[in-house]
């Protein structure tokens, strides 16, 4: 197993994560928001854990059924009905099972949550959501020693939401496994990552697994191969030291912005001008302490309510300190 730790100089320095030595005791859980994420982001990691005698489980959060342009192209149809989306999701899951064979995984290694594609944020933010508790139960059954999950900095809305879902689900676990986050879309806000370099045979297996995702390769084959051929980079979850939100949106856009805060105890959302925000000396904003969430892992999201053909998040999610009141001293 070849590992290379690389720290990017352009970002604040952090200690690069250290991977445990893979063995028959390793229990790797891969969190995949959509079919193909498991191959693009973790194809080499999966093979190396399997080669060491470890056990791998893939938790697929959505079927990837809300994927209209490849479906229109391949099926030569303009209008996509509910039945068409369901059939497309079944096709993508079948492709994923073929990809798993190339990665030396049995079909039994796949578990599907069946949540809505492009709807994981709604799963988090809807009142009385059971998503976190369901995910906690599913993770607890497998008892992983290592979890590979999307980075909170990933700009695909399902990827950022997947990170938050997993982190909240783990907040109720007595012993948290080691976390390694992967980034498919966008750039990390911090440095300190480890790269996994596979053998030639492992890379060929990974590319063969990618080819199994035929529905996605039809329109995006070059982009997907470019993503898959990058060194697999994994980041740790950084410690949170500031309650200041990383966003300062322009004034003209604020009437169309929605700010949300979630913890294991639930979710709250406000329009920007109604949110409990405080100015920070020197610029920036922070959320005022919110009842019922003190001492809990908390995550904030900023999103625009304006319709757009662009699916990726401009702002996305950030993690906040558990005790916002302690970090609010000295604010204007």
Q: Which residues contact 59 (CB under 8 A, 6 or more apart)?
A: 29, 30, 31, 32, 111, 113, 138, 139
257 and 320, same structural domain?
A: yes
**Per-residue model confidence (pLDDT) at position 324:** 59
End-to-end alpha carbon distance in the chain: 52
DSSP strands (E only) in the chain: 2-6, 27-32, 55-62, 110-115, 146-150, 178-182, 193-197, 232-235, 257-263, 266-271, 277-279, 285-287, 298-304, 316-320
CB 265 within 8 A of CB 171: no
What is the number of alpha carbons within 13 Å of residue 13 lying toward its C-beta? 2
Asked whether residue 244 is assigned to any structural domain, the reply reads no
Helix (H) or strand (E) holding 129: none
* Domain assignment present for 246: no
Residue 329: CB atoms within 10 Å: 6
Residues of the chain scoring pLDDT < 50? 1-13, 329-332
What does the pLDDT look like over 269-292, one tens digit per residue? Answer: 999 999 999 989 888 999 886 655
- What pLDDT does 291 receive? 56
CA angle, corner 151, sides to 159 and 23, nearest 5?
A: 110
Q: Judge whether 18 lies within some domain.
A: yes
pLDDT at residue 67, as a whole number: 94
Task: Flag whether 33 is in a domain.
Answer: yes
Tokens of 183: 């980034």
Residue 242 lies in a domain: no
Q: What is the pLDDT of residue 2?
A: 41
Q: Does residue 219 sit in helix, strand or coil?
A: helix
- Any domain includes 213: yes
Domain C-terminal end among 203, 235, 267: 235
* Structural domain span for residue 171: 2-235
pTM, two decimal places? 0.91
Single out the residue in 179, 202, 235 at which a domain terminates: 235
Q: Assess whether 312 and 168 both reside in one domain.
A: no
My answer on whether 206 and 271 are in the same domain is no
279 and 133 both lie in a single domain: no
Distance CA 139, CA 174 (A): 12
pLDDT in the model for residue 20: 81
Angle made by CA atoms 283, 288, 293, in degrees to the nearest 5: 140
- So what's the pLDDT on residue 10? 34
245 within some domain: no
CA distance linking residue 80 with residue 82, whole number of Å: 7
| Number of structural domains in the chain | 2
For residues 184 and 288, membership in a common domain is answered with: no
251: tokens are: 């004034």
Does residue 181 fall inside a structural domain?
A: yes
Same domain membership, residue 174 and residue 111: yes
Q: What CATH number does residue 178 fall under?
A: 3.40.50.10320
At residue 13, the pLDDT reads 45
Residue 3: which of 198, 190, 183, 236 has the closest Cα?
198
Please tell me whether residues 208 and 276 are part of one structural domain: no
291-311: b or e for each residue (b if 16 or more CB lie within 10 Å)? eebeebbbbbbbbeeeeeeee
Q: Are 286 and 195 in the same domain?
A: no
Same domain for 229 and 256? no
What pLDDT is recorded for position 236? Answer: 85
**Statement to judge: residues 288 and 172 lie in one domain:** no
Query: Are both 152 and 84 inside the same structural domain?
Result: yes
Is the same domain home to 316 and 207?
A: no
The whole-number pLDDT of residue 16 equals 59
Q: pLDDT digit string (tens) for 100-136?
A: 999 999 999 999 999 999 999 999 998 778 999 999 9
Cα–chain-centroid distance for residue 149? Answer: 6
- The alpha carbon of 126 is separated from its chain's Cα centroid by a whole number of angstroms, namely 19
Give the end of a domain, one of 235, 263, 278.
Answer: 235
């Amino acid at each position: 197993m070849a590992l290379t730790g690389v720290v990017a100089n352009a970002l604040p320095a952090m200690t690069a994560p250290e991977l445990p030595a893979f063995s028959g005791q390793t229990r790797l859980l891969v969190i995949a928001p959509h079919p193909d994420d498991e191959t693009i982001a973790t194809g080499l990691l999966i093979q190396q854990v399997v080669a060491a005698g470890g056990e791998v489980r893939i938790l697929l959060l959505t079927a990837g059924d809300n994927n209209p342009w490849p479906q229109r192209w391949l099926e030569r149809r303009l209008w996509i009905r509910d039945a068409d989306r369901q059939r497309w999701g079944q096709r993508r899951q079948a492709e994923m099972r073929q990809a798993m064979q190339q990665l030396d995984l049995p079909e039994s290694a796949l578990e599907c949550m069946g949540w809505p594609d492009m709807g994981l944020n709604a799963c988090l933010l809807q009142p009385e959501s059971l998503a976190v508790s369901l995910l906690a139960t599913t993770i607890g059954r497998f008892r992983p020693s290592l979890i590979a999950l999307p980075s909170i900095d990933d700009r695909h809305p399902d990827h950022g939401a997947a990170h938050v879902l997993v982190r909240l689900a783990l907040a109720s676990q007595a012993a948290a496994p080691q976390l390694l986050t992967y980034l498919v879309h966008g750039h990390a806000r911090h440095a300190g990552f480890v790269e996994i370099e596979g053998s030639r045979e492992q890379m060929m297996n990974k590319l063969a697994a990618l080819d199994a995702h035929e529905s996605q390769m039809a329109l995006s084959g070059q982009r997907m191969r470019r993503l898959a051929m990058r060194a697999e980079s994994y980041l740790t979850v950084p410690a949170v030291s500031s309650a200041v939100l990383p966003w300062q949106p322009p004034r003209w856009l604020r009437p169309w912005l929605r700010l949300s805060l979630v913890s294991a105890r639930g979710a709250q959302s406000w329009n920007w001008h109604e949110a409990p925000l405080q100015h920070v000396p020197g610029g920036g904003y922070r959320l005022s302490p919110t009842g019922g969430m003190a001492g809990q892992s908390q995550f904030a999201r900023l999103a625009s309510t304006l319709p757009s053909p662009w699916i990726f998040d401009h702002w996305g999610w950030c993690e906040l300190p558990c005790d916002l009141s302690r970090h609010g001293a000295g604010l204007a």
